[in-house]
């Protein structure tokens, strides 16, 4: 198929979705969101929105998404969904993790966030309500960013497990053999920069509005906290994403230390054969479950 034909099909599909979207009744929530967005634009500078707004979005999402996993450990009913039932992390260790996170967030990530304003100015990224991308374009671009980030993460993560490098950098993240939600970004500062670079590649290529940047932050945080949660919750909506790794896939990486290097999707591990130990383990678990039945 010629490239111009592909573009034509994509444009037609976009127009069709836009038409269907225009037929839907006006959403009062959308109007409230629009008013809140315009209030923000009228009362804060672009620098404040890009810098402090991005920090607030990141911190609010990170800890609110991590909260359910933290509370699950105190709810006996949730024990059946815990993946590594025989392992628990003390509150003291979780407090240590929390302090390490605050250091990473404010001493490593905040300086990077401060560059958001200059990025949006240099590339003329808009802030206005009228140019916020449609929901389906946000989903599509977030998916594309996830594919890009996942590729970067797989190869850099695998490199960090090299025996000559592992103990200096990535060992910090593997301090906890049974992962838990807030541990998702607990890492050596060098790892935060190396693996975090994959997050920015998609933004450089696809960002067309500051709201898209925040949408991609929300998508990525939701995914990484989910796979680090330590719980396999039924009817998790993220599991409907094609080729999604999920919590069991990444939990095995923390338990086994090798294999399952991808962040979001399973295809790189399948293509490179780095999920063989995981597949063998899952096969053994299924046999044991059948015997128990």
Give the pair of three-digit tokens for residue 89: 């992390």
Across-strand partners of 265? 244
Task: Name the more confident of 237 and 24.
Answer: 237
Predicted pLDDT of residue 290 = 79
Residue 114, C-beta contacts closer than 8 angstroms, at least 6 positions apart: 51
Joined together, the tokens standing for residue 165 give 């490098």
pLDDT value at residue 6: 43
Q: Domain map of the chain by residue range?
A: 84-292
Question: What is the value of pTM for the model shown?
Answer: 0.88
- The answer to whether 61 and 217 have CB atoms below 8 angstroms apart is yes
Partnered with residue 244 across adjacent β-strands are 265
The partner residues of 231 in beta bridges, in order of sequence, read 82
Q: For the segment 191-213, what is each residue's pLDDT rounded down to a tens digit?
A: 999 999 999 999 999 999 999 99
Query: 72-125 pLDDT, tens per residue?
Result: 999 999 999 999 998 989 999 999 999 999 999 999 999 999 999 999 999 999
Q: From 195, 217, 204, select the one nearest 138 (Cα to Cα).
A: 217
> How many other CB atoms sit within 10 Å of the CB of residue 267?
17
Identify the CA nearest to 175 among candidates 254, 258, 249: 254
Q: How far apart are CA 142 and CA 139, in angstroms?
A: 5
Beta-carbon contacts of residue 158 (< 8 Å; ≥ 6 apart): 261, 274
Question: Residues 230-289: pLDDT tens digits?
Answer: 999 988 999 999 999 999 999 999 999 999 999 999 999 999 999 999 999 999 988 887
pLDDT, averaged across the chain: 91
pLDDT at site 108: 94
Q: Which residues pair with 82 in a beta bridge?
A: 231
pLDDT tens-digit series, residues 117-158: 999 999 999 999 999 999 999 999 999 999 999 999 999 999
């Amino acid at each position: 198929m010629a490239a111009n034909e592909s573009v034509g099909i994509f444009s037609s599909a976009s127009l069709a979705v836009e038409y269907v979207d225009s037929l839907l009744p006006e959403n009062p929530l959308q109007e409230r969101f629009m008013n809140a967005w315009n209030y923000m634009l009228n009362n804060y500078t672009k620098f404040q929105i890009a810098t402090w707004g991005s920090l607030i979005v990141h911190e609010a999402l990170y800890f609110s998404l991590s909260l359910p996993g933290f509370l699950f450990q105190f709810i006996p009913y949730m024990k059946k969904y815990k993946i590594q039932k025989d392992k628990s992390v003390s509150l003291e260790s979780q407090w240590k993790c929390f302090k390490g996170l605050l250091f990473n967030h404010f001493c490593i990530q905040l300086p990077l966030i401060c560059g958001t304003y200059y990025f949006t100015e240099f590339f003329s990224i808009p802030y206005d309500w009228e140019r916020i991308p449609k929901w389906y374009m946000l989903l599509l671009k977030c998916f594309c960013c996830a594919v890009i980030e996942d590729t970067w993460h797989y190869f850099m993560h695998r490199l960090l497990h090299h025996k000559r490098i592992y103990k200096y950098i990535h060992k910090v993240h593997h301090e906890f053999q049974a992962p838990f939600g807030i541990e998702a970004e607990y890492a050596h500062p060098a790892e935060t920069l190396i693996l975090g670079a994959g997050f920015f590649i998609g933004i450089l290529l696809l960002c067309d509005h500051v709201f898209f940047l925040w949408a991609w932050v929300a998508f990525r945080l939701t995914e990484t906290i989910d796979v680090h949660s330590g719980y396999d919750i039924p009817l998790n909506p993220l599991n409907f994403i094609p080729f999604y790794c999920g919590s069991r896939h990444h939990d095995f990486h923390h338990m086994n230390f090798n294999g399952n290097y991808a962040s979001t999707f399973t295809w790189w591990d399948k293509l490179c054969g780095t999920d063989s130990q995981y597949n063998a383990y899952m096969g053994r678990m299924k046999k044991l479950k059948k015997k128990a039945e």
